[in-house]
Copies of this chain bind each other. A is one copy, B any other.
Amino acid sequence: MTTPLRLGIAGLGTVGVGVVKIVQQHADLLSRRSGRPVAITAVSARTRHKDRGVDVEAYAWEDDPVALATREDVDVFVELMGGSDGPAKAATEAAIAAGKDVVTANKAMLAIHGQELAEAAEAAGRVIRFEAAVAGGIPVVKALTEGLAGNEITRVMGVMNGTCNYILTRMQSAGLPYDEVFEEASKLGYLEADPELDVGGIDAGHKLALLASIAFGTRVDFGGVELEGIGEITIEDIHRAADMGFRIKLLGVAQMTGRGLEQRMTPCLVPASSPLGQLEGGTNMVVLEGDSVGQIVLRGAGAGEGPTASAVMADVIDIARGIRVATFGQPAAGLEQARRARVAAAAPYYLRMQLQDKPGALAKVAAVLGDAGISIDRMRQYGHAEPTAPVLIVTHKTTRDALELARSALAGTGVVEGSPVAIRIEKV
């Protein structure tokens, strides 16, 4: 096959420019590896004339991404605009209807409309590939869909928002409070226009929902992801957790349980010595667990021009090579909606509270926990200047329900100031 594979690229932001650079700089390499040339025929973006650091004048220009997506001379529509709806979705649908394959980095669109788009693509005999939508340059969609296809997947975990991990590790290393590091990250341009997408866990939640669909053969269910951001994490918890040998991460976990599909994107404690615990800065890490393979850990840059463009090009080269895998690894029409596990599996928890310096105070705390059926693994009370003492408890496995019961009972003991902080400890 020596006819070129012709790309139409919509969106010339960071990632789009990265893709153009690879196509321009590595024409020979791409052609040798793909077995055919890879060419850009047309592009589209919000602003036509702008210094992007690459020359796109040789490509046909379309103001309208839908027009781009349906051009005769485009084989693959490369959607790099973003946004769950609007032009990205309209153009993707138009591309499929016009018989084009689609490569996209758009996690929001697929997390929300993935099922319907995958079904449309399947009906049209086209593929939608989205390696760049999850964990940037890490080839995790491929590893899960193809590399571990012989496994029943037992759990998928990941630190998949580099900004959150940057904030949490920077808080620890610099001893700075959340608000200050958030400002720093904002000035460095690390945050999305709507920062809640990052620090609220939404962006990472989108990614988790996509991986869960592949892993468990279920329809993408972003609405079923329990979301909790990092905005409430204090520098005190970071330091105390470190004292007990843990790190706090915004950790995504998806697993199929007897109670249904559990999907969480929440702050968790993980052992400081684990690969996840050792992950510093903006790097991403995904952990895949299968019944045969055991645990596979993948680590790399989760964002940025080069890494994300690398993932887009992997999908493009797959298509050029004739590799055609169903969007979520098996026929979309056959995917079922998973029952949602209403409560997370039991786990040990980290509890931090301020205890009044009164005789018998600790006994009351211990009694409340005992009554709630929660047993204590480790406890530490710190010396203190104030009238209250910080107390840390690592519990044995318990349910969130028992924990909430205990938290409100603790608030009623009269010896605990405010409500205790509780953070799940994930076994990694």
Judging by beta carbons under 8 Å apart, are A137 and B293 in contact? yes
Judging by beta carbons under 8 Å apart, are A299 and B296 in contact? yes
Q: What separation, in Å, do the CA atoms of A278 and B271 have in the docked complex? A: 14
A86 CB within 8 Å of chain B = no
Judging by beta carbons under 8 Å apart, are B316 and A150 in contact? yes
Judging by beta carbons under 8 Å apart, are A137 and B292 in contact? yes
Judging by beta carbons under 8 Å apart, are A148 and B310 in contact? yes
Partner pick for A294 among B152, B295, B307, B312, CB 8 A cutoff: B307
A209 CB within 8 Å of chain B = no
Judging by beta carbons under 8 Å apart, are A292 and B309 in contact? yes
Judging by beta carbons under 8 Å apart, are A26 and B152 in contact? yes
Indicate whether A292 sits within 8 Å of B18 (C-beta atoms), given known contacts A150-B313, A313-B150.
yes
Judging by beta carbons under 8 Å apart, are A324 and B322 in contact? yes
Judging by beta carbons under 8 Å apart, are B300 and A26 in contact? no
Q: What separation, in Å, do the CA atoms of A148 and B26 have in the docked complex? A: 13
Contact with B along A10-42 (1 / 0, CB 8 A): 000000001000100010011011110000000
Write out the residue numbers on chain B whose beta carbons fall within 8 Å of the beta carbon of A414. none
Indicate how many identical chains form the complex. 2
Say how far A218's CB is from chain B's closest CB, in angstroms.
12
Write out the residue numbers on chain B whose beta carbons fall within 8 Å of the beta carbon of A291. 306
A55 CB within 8 Å of chain B = no
Say how far A7's CB is from chain B's closest CB, in angstroms.
12
Write out the residue numbers on chain B whose beta carbons fall within 8 Å of the beta carbon of A346. none
Judging by beta carbons under 8 Å apart, are A29 and B152 in contact? yes
Q: Indicate the size class of the contact surface on chain A.
A: 35 or more
Judging by beta carbons under 8 Å apart, are A314 and B139 in contact? no
Q: What separation, in Å, do the CA atoms of A313 and B138 have in the docked complex? A: 22
A323 CB within 8 Å of chain B = yes
Write out the residue numbers on chain B whose beta carbons fall within 8 Å of the beta carbon of A325. 321, 323
Say how far A273's CB is from chain B's closest CB, in angstroms.
8
Indicate whether A33 sits within 8 Å of B329 (C-beta atoms), given known contacts A275-B275, A296-B299.
yes
Indicate whether A139 sits within 8 Å of B143 (C-beta atoms), given known contacts A307-B294, A329-B33.
yes
Judging by beta carbons under 8 Å apart, are A314 and B33 in contact? no
A245 CB within 8 Å of chain B = no
> Which residues A38-89 have CB closer than 8 A to chain B?
none
A149 CB within 8 Å of chain B = yes
Partner pick for A299 among B275, B290, B292, CB 8 A cutoff: B275
Partner pick for A293 among B294, B301, B326, CB 8 A cutoff: B301
Judging by beta carbons under 8 Å apart, are A147 and B152 in contact? no
A258 CB within 8 Å of chain B = no
A-B contact pairs, 12 of them (CB 8 A): A22-B292, A32-B217, A33-B149, A35-B330, A131-B147, A142-B143, A149-B313, A150-B316, A150-B317, A275-B275, A293-B300, A296-B299
Residues of A bordering B, CB below 8 Å: 18, 22, 26, 29-30, 32-35, 131, 137-139, 142-143, 146-152, 217, 275, 278, 290-301, 304, 306-307, 309-314, 316-318, 321-326, 329-331, 334
